[in-house]
Amino acid sequence: MRASRLPLVVFFASFSTFLIAFAAVLVLLRPAIQKKFAENQEAARQVSNASLAPNLGDTDRARHRRTTEESTEESVEESPEERETQPTEVRFQGQVLDEDGNPLPMAKVYVLGGKRRMPEGLRGRLLCTMNTDESGKFSKSASVRYPPIALVVHCGKNRFLVDKLPSITNGEIDLGRLTVTAPEPVRVIVRNDEGMPIPGASVEVSDPWEGPKELCRQTWSGTTDTLGRVLFNAADFGRYRVRVEQMGFATYVGLHHPRGSRFMEAEVTLATADAWIQGSVVDDVGGPAMQGEVVVRPLHAGFDGESYQAPIDEQGGFRVGPLPRGDYTVLAQIEGMTQRGEVVAEADGTRARLIVEYAGSASGSIEADALLPENAAVTLFRSDGRGSMVPFEGAFRAKVDPAAQTFRVDGIPPGTYQVRIGAGGFAPGRSAEFTLETGESRTGLNVGLSLHGGNIQGTILHTRGYPLGKVRVTAYEGRTPPSQALKGKLSESFAKTGATTSDGTFELEQLSPGAHFLTFEAAGLPARTLGPVNVDPQAPVRIGALVMGGGASLSGRALDSSGHTVSDARLILESLDDEGTWIPLLTEKGGTYCVRGLVQGRYRLTPASLSGLQLEQALVLEVAEDQAVIADLSLAAR
C-alpha cells in the first residue's frame, strides 16, 4: 500500500519544486519585463502622436508631444504666492456701516493684493485707496497688476479687516455692506513660573501688520492689576505680539493667538531672574579691556530679541544680571574692537573669558519704499578669498534705526564685505562690496529695501521636450554656488526656493537685487545650474525654456580691446525667436560666462547699458539642439 503511494508523493514534490523555481524566475525577470512594457507604451504613444498630427511641422509636433506627455504628469499644487498679471481695470464699490446700521462717512478704505495671509499677519501691495462719502459709500476704478485679496477699513483709531473678497464680475468687485464692529477686547494675564499673578507688570500689545506704511503697526500698552491682568480694546486681527516687563523677571516677547469666550485672552509666564553671568575681557595680547560693555542674549525660546548688558570695569571684569537660569551668548561690545569667536555661557556657571581685537566699522543709509518694521536684521557677507561672498560667522554688533533709515555695524575685522539687511515684508537688500583694514571705518554705504524686489521666472523642460513639474528651483544670493558645508544654511536664510508647476513654469519673487546663482534639481536627472545672473527689480529675469538632462550650451570670455578678460561684466542673453528669454548674466572671475540647457534657436549676446562697455560688432548666435557653442566677446569702452 505504501509502495503504491510513493510515485504520487514524488510527483507532488517535483511539481512543488517546479512552481517554486518558476516563481523565482518571474521575480528575477520582473524589472526587464516592466522596462519592455514601458518601451512598448512609449512606442505606441509616438505612433499615436504621429497619426494624430501627420502634417505638423517639427516645432508644432514637439509642442503636441509635450501636451500629450503633460497629461501623464502628476498635478502639482500651485505656489501660495499670487503671480503678477497684466494690468486689469477693476472697479471697487461698497458701503461702510457701524453696528447700528448707520453709514460711516470719511472712513478710509484700502485694497491690497499680491499674497495670502502670511505667518506674521497679512502682507500685501497697496492697490488703491478710497474715502467713504456722507452715505458711507465708496467707489473707485483702479488698474491692478496683482489679484485683490483683502480690504482694510480705517475708522478713527480702529481698523477692520476683510480678508475674503468676492471674485471679479464684469470688471467689478462689489463688497456690499460692510459692518464695522467694535474691536474685541484682548486680555493679557501675567503669572510667574509658580502660577501666581504678577501685579504692576508693563504689558505692550501690537498687531503684526508689516504692509504699506499707510497701514503702519498699532500698539497698545498698560499695567497689570493685582490679579496680573490687563485689558486692551485692540483691533480684531487675531494675532498679536506681546511684550511683558517686570523687575526681577526676564522680559518676555512672543506672538499669541488670543482665545476666549468673553475676552480674547493671552497667558504669559515670566521666568524668575536670580542668576548672573560674569567673567573678564582681555585683548589679543592678554591685557584687560577697560571700556565698553558686555551683552548677553538667551538661547532659550520665548525671549527673541531680548538682551541684557553690563559695563566692563577697569580690570576688564563684568557681571550681568539678574537673569533667568539657562544658556546665553556673551558678546563684548567695545568701539573699534571685535570679539574673537562666539562664546556661550551658563548663568551662574563657569566664568566666561572674552578675547577682543582691533576692528573697523561700516555705516550708511537705507532706502525703503515703505515704513521699516522693528525687526530689521543685519548680516555681513565676507569674501572667502576665492571670489565667493559667504556669511560672516564672527562676532560683530549692528544697529538699525527704522525711523531715520540708517544702520551701523561695529567690530568688523579686516576683510572684504557686503552689508545685507532683511526686514519682514521686504525683499532683502545688499550694499556694494567694500574692504576694511585694521581699525578702519567705512561710511556712506547704501542698502535698498523694496516691497516688490526682483523676480525670476521661466519654464523647465525634459530633454524629450515635455514640461517638468516638481523641479526644485533655488536662487542663492551671490556669484558662486555655495559649498556643501554652507548649502543648507544658505538655503534657509539667504536664498529663495520654489518648485515648478505641472506645466513646468516657476516664479521666484521678492529677491534681493544683485547677483544670484540658480540651481535646478529634479528626481532622476542631474542638477542644472545657471549664473551668476543679475537681479534688477525693474527688469524681471526671464529664463524662457531651460532643458534638464540635455540642451545646448553657450560659453566664452569677455575681452577688452587689449585682449584682457573682463570680470563682473554685465551681459544680456536674449532669444531672437521669442520674447520668453531675457537673462542678465555676470561674467565670473577670469571673465568667463556659461549657460547650459538652452533650446535650439537664435540668440543675441550684448553688454548691459550700465556696464560702460559696448560690442565691437554685433554678436548673433545660431544654436542647434545639444550643440556646444563657444563665443568670445570683444568689448570696448563707450
* pLDDT tens digit sequence for 614-626: 555 568 888 888 8
**Residue 489 maps to a domain:** yes
Angle at 32 between CA 29 and CA 35, to 5 degrees: 150
Q: Residue 262, class by beta-carbon neighbours within 10 Å (0-12 exposed, 13-18 middle, 19+ buried)?
A: exposed
Which parts of 387-527 are beta strand (E)?
A: 389-391, 397-401, 406-412, 415-422, 429-430, 434-436, 441-449, 454-462, 472-477, 495-499, 505-511, 514-521
The span from the CA of 5 to the CA of 13, in Å, is: 13
Cα-only R_g, the chain: 32
The answer to whether residues 221 and 232 belong to one domain is: yes
**Residue 405 maps to a domain:** yes
In the chain, how many domains are there?
Answer: 5
- Domain of 93: which CATH number? 2.60.40.10
The answer to whether residues 491 and 591 belong to one domain is: yes
* Pairing, β 293-298 against β 620-623: unpaired
The answer to whether residues 290 and 405 belong to one domain is: no
Helices 2-52 and 58-70, interaxial angle, to 10°? 140
State residue 613's pLDDT score: 57
pLDDT tens figures, 8-28: 666 666 767 777 777 666 666
State residue 397's pLDDT score: 79
Distances (CA, A) of 200 to 108, 203, 245, 321, 595: 37, 9, 9, 21, 65
The span from the CA of 266 to the CA of 259, in Å, is: 7
**Residue 74 maps to a domain:** no
**Cell 547704501, located at residue:** 446
**Full 3-state SS string of 585-632:** EECCCCCEEEEEEECCEEEEEEECHHHCEEECCCCEEEECCCCEEECC
Residue 78, number of CB atoms within 10 A of its CB = 10
The answer to whether residues 116 and 242 belong to one domain is: no
**Residue 321 maps to a domain:** yes
The answer to whether residues 365 and 294 belong to one domain is: no
Enter the DSSP assignment of 22: H
**Residue 5 maps to a domain:** no
The sign of the CA dihedral 399, 208, 506, 573 is negative
The answer to whether residues 392 and 319 belong to one domain is: no
**Residue 38 maps to a domain:** no
State residue 367's pLDDT score: 92
In the chain, what is the straight-line distance between the N-terminal and C-terminal CA atoms, in Å? 111
Backbone φ, ψ for residue 61 (5° rounding): -65, -40
The span from the CA of 58 to the CA of 170, in Å, is: 41
Residue 3, SS3 per DSSP: helix
Q: Residue 297, class by beta-carbon neighbours within 10 Å (0-12 exposed, 13-18 middle, 19+ buried)?
A: middle
The span from the CA of 257 to the CA of 529, in Å, is: 42
Name the nearest CA neighbour of 370 among 538, 209, 541, 149. 209
The answer to whether residues 481 and 607 belong to one domain is: yes
The answer to whether residues 332 and 282 belong to one domain is: yes
**Residue 130 maps to a domain:** yes
Of 411, 431, 449, which marks where a domain is finished?
449
Name the nearest CA neighbour of 86 among 150, 148, 143. 143
The answer to whether residues 258 and 330 belong to one domain is: no
The answer to whether residues 94 and 147 belong to one domain is: yes
The answer to whether residues 200 and 347 belong to one domain is: no
Residue 228, number of CB atoms within 10 A of its CB = 22
Q: Which residues make beta-bridge pairs with 244?
A: 203, 252
State residue 530's pLDDT score: 93
Alpha carbons within 13 A on the beta-carbon side of 613: 25
State residue 78's pLDDT score: 39
Name the nearest CA neighbour of 584 among 520, 481, 515. 515
Of 233, 251, 270, which marks where a domain is finished?
270
**Full 3-state SS string of 44-79:** HHHHHHHHHCCCCCHHHHHHHHHHHHHCCCCCCCCC
Residue 492, number of CB atoms within 10 A of its CB = 9
State residue 47's pLDDT score: 38
The domain containing residue 97 runs over which residues? Answer: 88-179
Name the nearest CA neighbour of 70 among 497, 395, 501. 501
State residue 616's pLDDT score: 55
The answer to whether residues 223 and 372 belong to one domain is: no
**Segments of the chain with pLDDT less than 70:** 1-13, 15, 23-87, 114-124, 145-146, 156-159, 163, 182-183, 208-217, 234-239, 258-263, 300-306, 483-493, 609-618, 636-638
- Domain of 265: which CATH number? 2.60.40.1120
Of 416, 449, 482, which marks where a domain is finished?
449
State residue 80's pLDDT score: 38
Judge if pTM exceeds 0.85: no
Which parts of 180-285 are beta strand (E)?
A: 185-192, 202-206, 219-223, 229-233, 240-245, 252-256, 264-270, 275-283
User: In degrees to the nearest 10, what's the CA dihedral of 48, 50, 55, 58?
Assistant: 130
**Residue 625 maps to a domain:** yes
State residue 580's pLDDT score: 81
